[in-house]
Structure 1
Amino acid sequence: MAYKDDQLSEEKVFKDPVHRYVHVRDRVIWDLIATPEFQRLRRIKQLGTTHLTFHGAEHSRFNHSLGVYEIVRRILNNFKDREHWNNEERLLCLCAALLHDLGHGPFSHSFEKVFKLDHEYFTQAIIVGDTKVNEILEKVSPGFARKVADVIGKTYEDKLVVSLISSQIDADRMDYLQRDAYFTGVSYGHFDMERILRVMRPIEDQVVIKSTGMHAVEDYIMSRYQMYWQVYFHPVTRSAEVILSKILHRAKHLYQDVGYTFKLEPIHFISFFEEDVSLEDYLKLDESVVQYYFQLWQEEEDEILSDLCERFMNRRLFKYVEFNPNLQINDLLELTQLFMKAGIEPEYYLVVDSSSDLPYDFYRPGEEEERLPIHLQMPNGSLKELSRHSDIVESISGKKRTDHKLYFPLDKLKALTDNGLKQQIMDILYGQGESRKNVN
């Protein structure tokens, strides 16, 4: 029997808190899960620093990747023998679903911004590179690994296949919303996925939804909207992200610009500091390694690096106030001068953070070319764009919400001995009426 058709002698299952069971029968999938590159995802948290806000959010990208695979497996079971669906693409879809997050690094998005990396690039590099994953995929057929990489990169010729992994309503989003809601303990991310899977239909270049399933999709859209603002952009989580980013910036600055001698040479970071990262270097770095360095850097002689690492490791986060940089630019300039006068480095301790700089992923038809809007299939077979049929979705379609916060170490401000300077800073941050409450 050809490797691509090889089935396990009995079905393997992973017990899963979200989907109850993840079912594996294909030898290819079972072998991919066992690779070092996929097992590495156990050491990358799905939600980065969110566990510092919602203590249950310790789940990994390994959990999530299995969940996306399972959703796609169920979708394809429903698609079997339907018009427009080519069952020859089944294994390709399953592999792409399983491997779609393979290239995520530690504390993914913060890490990427500091070191100018792209996890999708590394996902494809792992799939087509000199790896165990590539070895298995190429056993399916020559060039199969490239096809999987193209699906994940959204360049594969069959857009219907791509849409299962990346679209306005795809397996990736359906898993992370439910999984993140489960592990954070919030109620926002729950929706009737089973209903959505039952009403999904393949057409030539995308998946559409039977009109009878519109209300389940409305629930999904609103769940997604709420999760971003209640969980993903939570200001305490963002505070931890700010400190994490500043640690990495400081370490990079010390290495690149100061010629600083670390007590222990940061060998896992050197290629990142030098912006010449090989695939081998990338795969060696996970969150346990990063936190090992943060633990050590608490003892470094550089006061800023030491302080920031101690804050991150012990959850002594920055405080924040609402802040509009467009209207309060003069306040920011004045605060920068006052922080410098107080001996508090504003580059690391006075940070404007804008949530809209992150992937703000609620329903926005037409904003990105590859994201087709969700279409409903009407009883007569015609297609109707969702927001034109749903008042709920229409009310949030295309509306970009922006949120700005100003982060700072309140403890350092309270410790200032110059009471006049302290009061000046507090008056700007909190307003004169509230500042005295926060000084003490």
Structure 2
Amino acid sequence: MKRPPKLKLFNDPIYGFIRIPNNLIFDLIAHPYFQRLRRISQMGLSYLVYPGAHHTRFHHALGAMHLMQQAIWMLRQKDVEIDPQDAEGLLCAILLHDIGHGPFSHALENELFRGMDHEVLSLRFMEELNTVFDGRLQTGIDIFQKTHPKPFLNQLVSGQIDMDRMDYLKRDSFYTGVAEGNINSERLIAMLSVSEGNLVVDAKGIYSVEKFLMARRFMYWQVYLHKTSLAAEQLLIRIIRRARLLYQTGGLQCPSPSLSYFLNLPEAQADISGAEMKTFALLDDVDILAALKSWQQDSEPVLALLCEMILDRKLPSIKIKDTPVAPERVEKKKRQFMKATGFDAEEASHFVFSGEISNQTYSPHTQILILEKNGEVSDVARHSRHLNLESLSETQTRYYICYPKKGI
């Protein structure tokens, strides 16, 4: 007897009601691997700058799936063939595309499972789930890996204008209150079409594309790479590195068994076992916050102070400039901090440091294709009069120095 569909609605503050289309999607959402995303912050430590930014990867995954349902419907209205298997694959791929994120998302990328970014881990989670669901995720895995023979399916999940980017820009703009990052996702989806197998945008949607690119550029430099968020995330990275050193030498207790496991891992992982996947699936923001609260009381002064700085938001000063920071300036700030605290040079390096950040708004290697009324297809750069896509295609790099404020 065919199992009746489990019809469920999520009430989302961005889109209203989000519908779960079938039993497979329902069961994927109900799986513990996916439920864990409720405890993974979408924007890392950005809530220290934008108090409303407490939304999670769970929110984002559901929102991206909702947009994918709209895109499938719209393309079918334009006589684009998307069979039920491909449609289900699209929904699985976009729903699970971020399932491999660790605690605080990008803030600790490559710090717990060193040498493995979230996309590699997402694929491993999808492969594990594919076994659980008797191979029904294989089309979604092919799309996620960009190996599906229909390119536009791959591009809907990972491209210049995909459902992932459409949701996180709109959602992050909403929760941070940064209106400049808002985009009209409905208009963009309505302008999508397919030509010669590739995803394209109708020419009359060019202004929506321009708004999308400018919103993305603004959100990266003013929100995702905000200097205060950057300083907080760099402190968190240094906490994990310090904790790992102390834990591996027997000088630290860890309140979380799953976090303890990853603190004890060697320098880099070439692969990940099924048992390690299950351990990683037990790790989320709660483990990190519990550890910070515990280590704040630790007798090791460097780790304790670093934890206190995040928990009490006593964040360091950070200066960002267009040219590299002179080593002499870093050393000067370090000597000042050493004199004020009594820390040695190695200890002071956890508090005074420099680095660089970079971003590319538009990649010419994965173009946004514009479809003219006459059927001609060309890159958006040919059509836009308001964007300097040559500038947007360049990788912009900036440099920073962090050092504690007086009184810390």
Does the pair score TM above 0.5? yes
**Cα separation, 1, equivalents of 2:13 and 2:288:** 28
Match of 1:261?
251
In structure 2, give the amino acid aligned to 1:46. Answer: Q
**Cα separation, 2, equivalents of 1:412 and 1:154:** 51
What secondary structure does 2:161 align onto? coil
**Cα separation, 2, equivalents of 1:390 and 1:398:** 14
**Cα separation, 1, equivalents of 2:88 and 2:256:** 41
The TM-score normalised by the length of structure 1 is 0.83
**Cα separation, 2, equivalents of 1:35 and 1:196:** 32
Match of 2:109?
112
What secondary structure does 2:193 align onto? strand
In structure 2, give the amino acid aligned to 1:211. Answer: A
Match of 1:376?
370
**Cα separation, 1, equivalents of 2:253 and 2:71:** 53
Residues 385, 313 of structure 1: alpha-carbon distance in 2 compared, 3 angstrom cutoff: same
Q: How do residues 57-68 of structure 1 correspond to structure 2 at under 5 angstroms?
A: 57-68=53-64
Match of 2:87?
90
The alpha-carbon deviation at position 171 of structure 1 amounts to 0.3
Deviations 1:178-232 (A, max 9, x none): 0000000111111222111111002343210010111111111111111111111
**Cα separation, 1, equivalents of 2:16 and 2:80:** 30
**Cα separation, 2, equivalents of 1:334 and 1:297:** 29
The alpha-carbon deviation at position 334 of structure 1 amounts to 4.1
Match of residue 399, structure 1, among 382, 394, 397: 394
**Cα separation, 1, equivalents of 2:373 and 2:23:** 40
Match of 2:204?
212
- The question of whether the paired residues in 2 share the 8 Å contact of 1:120 and 1:153 is answered with no
Residues 327, 16 of structure 1: alpha-carbon distance in 2 compared, 3 angstrom cutoff: closer
**Cα separation, 2, equivalents of 1:87 and 1:266:** 45
**Cα separation, 2, equivalents of 1:167 and 1:288:** 32
**Cα separation, 1, equivalents of 2:287 and 2:308:** 16
**Cα separation, 2, equivalents of 1:7 and 1:212:** 42
In structure 2, give the amino acid aligned to 1:65. Answer: A
Residues 12, 408 of structure 1: alpha-carbon distance in 2 compared, 3 angstrom cutoff: same
Match of 2:303?
305
Match of 2:13?
17
Query: Unaligned 5+ residue runs, structure 1?
Result: 367-371, 414-440
- The question of whether the paired residues in 2 share the 8 Å contact of 1:340 and 1:346 is answered with yes
Match of residue 172, structure 1, among 145, 160, 164: 164
The TM-score normalised by the length of structure 2 is 0.90
Match of 1:417?
none
Q: Is 102-111 or 327-336 further displaced after alignment?
A: 327-336
The alpha-carbon deviation at position 263 of structure 1 amounts to 4.0
Structure with a larger share of its residues in helix: 1
What secondary structure does 2:349 align onto? helix
Match of 1:121?
120
Q: How do residues 35-434 of structure 1 correspond to structure 2 at under 5 angstroms?
A: 35-80=31-76, 82-88=78-84, 89-115=86-112, 116=114, 117-129=116-128, 131=129, 134-136=131-133, 138=134, 142=135, 144-256=136-248, 259-264=249-254, 267-273=257-263, 274-275=265-266, 278-323=276-321, 326=324, 328-340=326-338, 343-344=342-343, 345-356=347-358, 360-366=359-365, 372-395=366-389, 396-412=391-407
Q: Is 268-277 or 385-394 further displaced after alignment?
A: 268-277
In structure 2, give the amino acid aligned to 1:347. Answer: S
In structure 1, give the amino acid aligned to 2:121. Answer: F
Percent pairwise identity:
31
Of the two, which has the highest radius of gyration?
A: 1
In structure 1, give the amino acid aligned to 2:356. Answer: S
Residues 182, 81 of structure 1: alpha-carbon distance in 2 compared, 3 angstrom cutoff: closer
**Cα separation, 2, equivalents of 1:220 and 1:323:** 26
